[in-house]
Amino acid sequence: MNRFQKSVLMALLLCMVAAESMAEEVTREQIKGLDEQVQDIKKDILGISAELTQLEEKLIYPSNTQVSVFVTLVKGDKFRLDAVKVKIDGKDATHHIYTFKELEALQSGGVQRLYTGNILAGEHTIDVSLIGKGSGNSDYLQNASYKFTKSVEPKLIEVILAGPSSSNQRIGFKD
């Protein structure tokens, strides 16, 4: 038997030894069993998470005063959104600086809930400012206002952002 054949045989032997050693210590059944337990605890915790979300909404943002602002991008628009600032009735409500991952999620069609708060029923104004970059890395700044009426049910406002090359309105609103 030449050296080459010996080497191949030895490698095979080592693999077998390794496989046996692994089988003694961590079996597929053990991995599977533990994985099932992890799945069970995930299910329990997701249940808690959903209940906490509902509790938070009921306790902190009851429907008669709740207002939520959602941000979406115009479909197919790939401009770089850096930050968004929101004012409600002239007061700062929130601002957000976007990470690359968040921007990608928006560009893929995701909807970001930017703000949830409480306001009284009646007429209100929302002001939105966006900062971003257009083609050729030029600064892109936009502002827009929108009047809306809050009634008994939760108020959802969608803010639709478009880039400089879009034919759409730069900052659109839908409620």
Partner 1 sequence: MRRYICLFGLCLSSFSFAAGDPSRDTKKDLYLGEAFYYAFQGEYVDAITRLDTELGQFNRLDDPNLDPMHFQINHANFSVGDFELSYRMHQRAGRAIKSVLEGNVELSIRNEAAYRLARIYMQKDDHRNALKTIEKITGKIPEKIRDDELFLRAQIYMLTGKFDDAIKILQSLQGARDFEGFSTYNLGIALIQNGQELKGFEQLDKAGQISSDDDGTLAIRDKANLMLGNRLIAAGQPELAKQYLDRVRLTGPFSNKALLGSGWTDVALGKFDRALVPWSLLLQRNVTDKAVQESMLGVPYAYAKLDLHGKAALLYGSALEKFGSELAKLDASIKSIREGRFLKALVSDELKQDKNWVVKLRELPETPETYYLLELMASNDFQESLQNYFDLDDLRKRLESWEDYLDAYEDIIKYRHQYYESILPNIDKQFRAIDSQMRLRLEQRQALDDRSKLMLVSPRPDFLETADERIIRDNLRILTEKYKNDSSASANDIRRRIKRLQGVLLWQTKTTYDKRLTEAYKHLHQLDADVERLRSIYRSFVRSRQAATQSYKGYDDQIRQLRNRVRDSKEKVNTLMARQGNMLNTMAINELDQRRIRLEEFQVQARFALSESYDRASKKQQDEGGAK
x/- mask, partner 1, residues 35-74, rule CB under 8 A, reads xxxxx-xxxxxxxxxxxxxxxx-xxx-x-xx--x-x-x--
Residues in binding contact with partner 1, number by CB under 8 A: 62
Q: Is 36 helix (H, G, I), strand (E, B) or coil?
A: helix
Backbone angle region of 76, left / alpha / beta, with phi > 0 → left and psi within -120 to 50 → alpha: left
Nearer to partner 1, 70 or 133 (CB): 70
Q: Should residue 97 be labelled a site residue for partner 1 when binding is judged by CB under 8 A?
A: no
Q: Should residue 75 be labelled a site residue for partner 1 when binding is judged by CB under 8 A?
A: yes
Q: Should residue 78 be labelled a site residue for partner 1 when binding is judged by CB under 8 A?
A: no
Give, in order, the Cα–Cα distances in Å from 61 to each of 118, 120, 127, 155, 158.
6, 12, 21, 11, 18
Q: Should residue 17 be labelled a site residue for partner 1 when binding is judged by CB under 8 A?
A: yes
x/- mask, partner 1, residues 108-127, rule CB under 8 A, reads xxxxxx-------x------
Q: How far apart are CA 143 and CA 151, in angstroms?
A: 26
- How would you classify the pairing of strands 66-73 and 122-133? unpaired
